[in-house]
Structure 1
Amino acid sequence: MSQPVMVSGPISPPKSKNSRWTYLDNVRRHPGPFTGETFNSSEEAVSLMDNLKVLVIGAGGLGCEILKNLALSGFKQIHVIDMDTIDVSNLNRQFLFRASDVGSSKAEVAARFVEKRVRGVSITPHNCKIQDKDDDFYMQFNIIVCGLDSVEARRWINSTLVNLVDDENEDSLKPLIDGGTEGFKGQSRVVFPTITSCIECQLDMHAPRAAVPLCTLATIPRQPEHCVEWAHIIAWEQENPFPTLDNDDPEHITWLYKKALARAQEFNIQGVTYSLTQGVVKNIIPAIASTNAIIAASCCNEAFKIATQTNPSLGMAENYMYYTGNDGIYSYTFEHLKKDDCPVCGNLARDIEVDPNFTLQEFIDSLAERAEAQLKKPSIRADRTLYMQSPPSLEEQTRPNLVKKMGELVGNGDEIGVTDPSLGAVNFKYKVKFSREFRGAVVKENID
């Protein structure tokens, strides 16, 4: 009986002209059981992947994993955009960063690290907000992958990509792959703008954060989060230390942290930290490295399938994958349907129930709490402008309408348009449905 051969050291992959991509080329050059009719294994088709340009939005917990995975999946032209700098708290899960990188740009450090480790890959960093880039910037990419911790940023890039689509230019359609994690749970989804369900269609899956009663914040806070919310909502409004609150500005967060800490000390509450303050203000949920790795792998797998057509992607049928690791490992996929009344990709006005006895201010406040809207600084138009957040001159001119009742400003069945600066040029169209009888003079005024 022959003895087993003992092998010492790692087993080297077969040598080839470029052995790094040997196993990857086996997938790209040979059809499998799920490849479709569009699959092309020619040398020319395989080499096209070298020139595809991919944009990664976010270089945090998910973004670091996504950048590494894309570089090791054969993508050679990658851009990454992130406005944040590296904090000590990032180092436990954002593995592209080291202690010496604290204070540096996430995008720039991540790009340098991956380029150094994966030869032949070019990564261009952009240390800025996604809103700072124009349409021409986004038009240059073939695929966009998001690893964001902000619903607002997701909605902005989603609406931007939908608005880019031109029926006469097939290159204007940019597949969007979005990943997100919440502790042991995560999701990945693929959006083909104007064709499949978009992120705005799925907004009701992101329930707005439960509000804490103002009386609790103002009188007897019980938790460190209450102290942060007090600083965020009450102290900021009273002292107005800066013209507007920028959640990404360290100076603004530091101001809120100091106020919250003083409030906590006053009521003998422990636990207020800078990280907690930042997390409450930005609604950040603590991340787990293993969940980030799983969701990033799913996102990059979808990018590879779209680029190579080796397998069908999530986008055209079951377009949403949900993962949960709370009690074991479980995932499932389903189709999130496109909504005809979606304010971004739909063409119908969405019904909205309105109490005609509400003031315009009360109606605007309610838009922040509606799961299907979640608008923070909306401007309202009917047949004429009802209220505009900016410019200041128009805000001042329309401010008197805030105390008027909705029944005086619009009629039952009227269509109104709502915009929000955080969502770019998107115009939310709503058809007003009065929920009760209007008790007052039925006067639909003309607003200049």
Structure 2
Amino acid sequence: MTVPTVETRSANNCNETNSPKRWSHIRRVLERPGPFSDPAFEPSTEILPFLESMKILIIGAGGLGCELLKDLALMGFRQISIIDMDTIDLANLNRQFLFKFKDIGKPKAEVAAKFIMNRIPACKVTLLTYDDETNQVDPSTIIPLVDGGTEGFKGNARVIYPGITACIECNLDLFPPQVAYPMCTLANQPRLPEHCVEWVTVLHWKEHNPFGKDVRIDGDSVQHIQWIYERALERAKTYKITGITFRFTQGVVKRIIPAVASTNAIVASISATEVFKLATRSVILMNNYTIFNDIEGIYTYTFEAEKKSNCPVCSTIPQKIELNETSKLQEVLDTLIERYNLISPGITTADNEGQNRTLYMISTQQFEEITKPNLNKTLQELNLTDGTELTVVDKTRANPMRIFLHITSSMETTSKDLIYT
């Protein structure tokens, strides 16, 4: 599949763009110091041309992405790449202002970029690397990330220096838990319209959907949502519950939270300002996480999100898993998937002679057939002892993970249990 990637450039033949007044507001910031200037900032007439040559990548052309594209283009950035695999639908038009009715069904990235400027060629990806001798991040490979997100009337923005500041994984504890309804409520005592929709998707779909027993729900399929909507509506009428509509049904299935245009605009402006600061050093950076909430009045707060010393993504410290010697490799696999949100991890280790030894891998059918029997073997049978280092790869991780096994004997575990009791 070709990823729609588009670059936007300011039109050099546009009188407004080349007018001395066009960037006067930016020049005031860049060509003279201010009370909030970064100590390292040196005012210069050369900073604006530098901005024009700087390459920016925007990931996502939705409500926030449209605002960002507009903000960054008006700040003097001219080399802007934007990527989005989604297409435009009718529900986008109330807040994603770069799109019009005639654009429905077209790729978001292409339409957004054409609205601002014109097309780009390929996208270059630069990976973060560490110095082999010092195990420190190589500054020349650091690409700062400005991350923003909105959820209804709430939003956040943060600045991430890969390998130096807290990454997204470091702060996963800040995210609210996924909404889950008790099974007994869904089956016997539905009270809300979402209970009726969840009953269809969780309990009714597996046995009664007309699309095939092993077919999973596609939240973008009109046929799937229509069938779920009709079954949910029947159940709602039985329990005298109102509020079931097609759009509501799709929102519950896809876990859609209504977007608010003003929240998108505010969070986008915060994010764009941080990009401008990163590029110019004209003002001290945010340190490093800002939250915004205007449900009841306006509340905003900035704090420093701390880097986790044992973060499985940005830390070089190996992770540790504690198991019993009678535990099976399947338990190791299940623990990795649950603890680190992996999808299909592959596990290797080194034998006594330092040679690579594959314990489980599904990268090819041949590897899976050869290594699958290991899942039912105990750690003892696989000669995995206390302190064994595993290398784990998964498509959700850019780099392999180092995992140390802490293996206890059956006798030790029983003794601990007795003492605890």
Match of 1:162 in 2: 128
CA contact (8 A) 1:162 1:345 kept: no
Match of 1:79 in 2: 81
Q: Give the alignment of 1:366-377 within 5 angstroms.
A: 367=336, 369-370=338-339, 373-377=340-344
Match of 2:143 in 1: 174
Match of 2:7 in 1: none
Of 106-115 and 426-435, more deviation after overlay is shown by 426-435
Secondary structure of 1:65's counterpart equals helix
| Distance in 2 between residues matched to 1:283 and 1:348, nearest whole Å | 35
CA contact (8 A) 2:129 2:141 kept: no
CA contact (8 A) 1:162 1:344 kept: no
User: Is the alpha carbon distance of 1:233 and 1:308 closer, same or farther for their aligned partners in structure 2, counting shifts above 3 Å?
Assistant: same
User: Is the alpha carbon distance of 1:401 and 1:168 closer, same or farther for their aligned partners in structure 2, counting shifts above 3 Å?
Assistant: closer
Secondary structure of 1:181's counterpart equals strand
| Distance in 2 between residues matched to 1:437 and 1:346, nearest whole Å | 32
Match of 2:225 in 1: 257
Counterpart AA for 1:74? G
Residue 187 in structure 1 maps to residue 156 in structure 2:
yes
| Distance in 2 between residues matched to 1:405 and 1:86, nearest whole Å | 51
CA contact (8 A) 1:407 1:438 kept: no
Match of 1:143 in 2: none
| Distance in 2 between residues matched to 1:109 and 1:219, nearest whole Å | 47
How far off its partner does 1:295 sit? 0.7
Compute the TM-score of the two structures, normalised by the length of structure 1. 0.70
| Distance in 2 between residues matched to 1:424 and 1:293, nearest whole Å | 31
Match of 1:63 in 2: 65
Match for residue 299 of structure 1 among 267, 271, 276 = 271
Residue 288 in structure 1 maps to residue 260 in structure 2:
yes
Counterpart AA for 1:173? I
Q: Give the alignment of 1:302-381 within 5 angstroms.
A: 302-314=274-286, 318-353=287-322, 361=330, 364-365=333-334, 367=336, 369-370=338-339, 373-381=340-348
Secondary structure of 1:66's counterpart equals helix
User: Is the alpha carbon distance of 1:313 and 1:243 closer, same or farther for their aligned partners in structure 2, counting shifts above 3 Å?
Assistant: farther
Counterpart AA for 1:22? S
| Distance in 2 between residues matched to 1:226 and 1:24, nearest whole Å | 52
How far off its partner does 1:343 sit? 2.2
CA contact (8 A) 2:128 2:138 kept: no
Residue 397 in structure 1 maps to residue 370 in structure 2:
yes
Match for residue 137 of structure 1 among 101, 124, 136 = 124
Match of 2:109 in 1: 107
Match of 2:32 in 1: 30
User: Is the alpha carbon distance of 1:45 and 1:280 closer, same or farther for their aligned partners in structure 2, counting shifts above 3 Å?
Assistant: same
User: Is the alpha carbon distance of 1:29 and 1:245 closer, same or farther for their aligned partners in structure 2, counting shifts above 3 Å?
Assistant: farther
CA contact (8 A) 1:165 1:193 kept: no
Match for residue 418 of structure 1 among 364, 372, 392 = 392
The size of the alignment, in residue pairs, is 382
Secondary structure of 1:23's counterpart equals helix
Question: Higher Cα Rg: structure 1 or 2?
Answer: 2
User: Is the alpha carbon distance of 1:323 and 1:439 closer, same or farther for their aligned partners in structure 2, counting shifts above 3 Å?
Assistant: same
User: Is the alpha carbon distance of 1:85 and 1:242 closer, same or farther for their aligned partners in structure 2, counting shifts above 3 Å?
Assistant: farther
Counterpart AA for 2:43? S
User: Is the alpha carbon distance of 1:92 and 1:338 closer, same or farther for their aligned partners in structure 2, counting shifts above 3 Å?
Assistant: same
CA contact (8 A) 1:380 1:419 kept: yes
| Distance in 2 between residues matched to 1:392 and 1:272, nearest whole Å | 45
Match of 1:142 in 2: none
Give per-residue Cα distances to partners, 1:24-56, cap 9 Å, x unaligned. 211111111122343232222332111111111
Give per-residue Cα distances to partners, 1:215-241, cap 9 Å, x unaligned. 777888776656666776678877896
User: Is the alpha carbon distance of 1:278 and 1:405 closer, same or farther for their aligned partners in structure 2, counting shifts above 3 Å?
Assistant: farther
How far off its partner does 1:80 sit? 0.7
Counterpart AA for 1:162? L
Give per-residue Cα distances to partners, 1:69-91, cap 9 Å, x unaligned. 11111111111100111111111
CA contact (8 A) 2:217 2:224 kept: no
Alignment RMSD (CA, Å) = 4.1
Counterpart AA for 2:228? A
How far off its partner does 1:192 sit? 1.3
Match of 2:354 in 1: none
Give per-residue Cα distances to partners, 1:262-293, cap 9 Å, x unaligned. 54255347666665566555544332111111
Secondary structure of 1:348's counterpart equals coil
Please list every run of 5 or more consecutive structure 1 residues that lacks an aligned counterpart in the other structure. 1-15, 116-121, 127-132, 140-160, 441-448
Counterpart AA for 2:262? S
Of 85-94 and 39-48, more deviation after overlay is shown by 39-48
Identity percentage over the alignment? 45
Counterpart AA for 2:370? Q
CA contact (8 A) 2:278 2:285 kept: yes
Of 50-59 and 17-26, more deviation after overlay is shown by 17-26
Match for residue 360 of structure 2 among 387, 396, 401 = 387
Counterpart AA for 2:392? V
Counterpart AA for 1:257? I
| Distance in 2 between residues matched to 1:200 and 1:187, nearest whole Å | 15
User: Is the alpha carbon distance of 1:329 and 1:168 closer, same or farther for their aligned partners in structure 2, counting shifts above 3 Å?
Assistant: closer
Give per-residue Cα distances to partners, 1:320-374, cap 9 Å, x unaligned. 111122221111111122223222221111234557777655664555554xx23
Secondary structure of 1:267's counterpart equals helix
Match of 1:10 in 2: none
| Distance in 1 between residues matched to 2:359 and 2:289, nearest whole Å | 38
Please list every run of 5 or more consecutive structure 2 residues that lacks an aligned counterpart in the other structure. 1-17, 351-356, 414-421
| Distance in 2 between residues matched to 1:237 and 1:163, nearest whole Å | 46
Give per-residue Cα distances to partners, 1:292-311, cap 9 Å, x unaligned. 11111100000011111110
